[in-house]
Amino acid sequence: MAQSTMSIRIDNDVKRGFDKFCDDVGMNASVAINMFVRATLRDNRLPFNVSSVSDPFYSDANINFLRRAIADVKAGRATLTEHELIEVDDD
């Protein structure tokens, strides 16, 4: 089977960490990338979930706030009249 070369740009520290991980599990980066590509093509989707972790709406603090608000509504204790956004520190 004919092979092609793929060139990507990646942060130096990320590459070093990825190379170390691959070495630790007994493969190299080329094998790992080939596994990723084949899994993507086989399943016709990325082999992991993609989410926006930086979206404050999905933060633990906001999800907990929404759950409390829903419980208050169900218990007849709803006092909110407008939406309140909880900002999340990016620590």
CA dist 85 and 23 (Å) reads 44
Handedness of CA 31, 36, 37, 41 (dihedral sign): positive
Task: State residue 58's pLDDT score.
Answer: 78
Among residues 40, 62, 45, 43, which one has the least CA distance to residue 53?
Answer: 62
- pLDDT tens per residue, the chain (91 residues)? 899 999 999 999 999 999 999 999 999 999 999 999 999 999 999 998 877 667 777 788 888 999 998 998 899 887 656 666 777 776 6
What is the number of domains present in the chain?
A: 2
Task: State residue 56's pLDDT score.
Answer: 78
The pTM score is 0.54
Domain shared by 37 and 61, yes or no:
no
User: What domain range is 88 assigned to?
Assistant: 51-91
Task: State residue 53's pLDDT score.
Answer: 63
Domain shared by 57 and 28, yes or no:
no
CA dihedral 70, 73, 74, 77 (to 10 degrees): 130
Specify if 63 maps to a domain.
yes
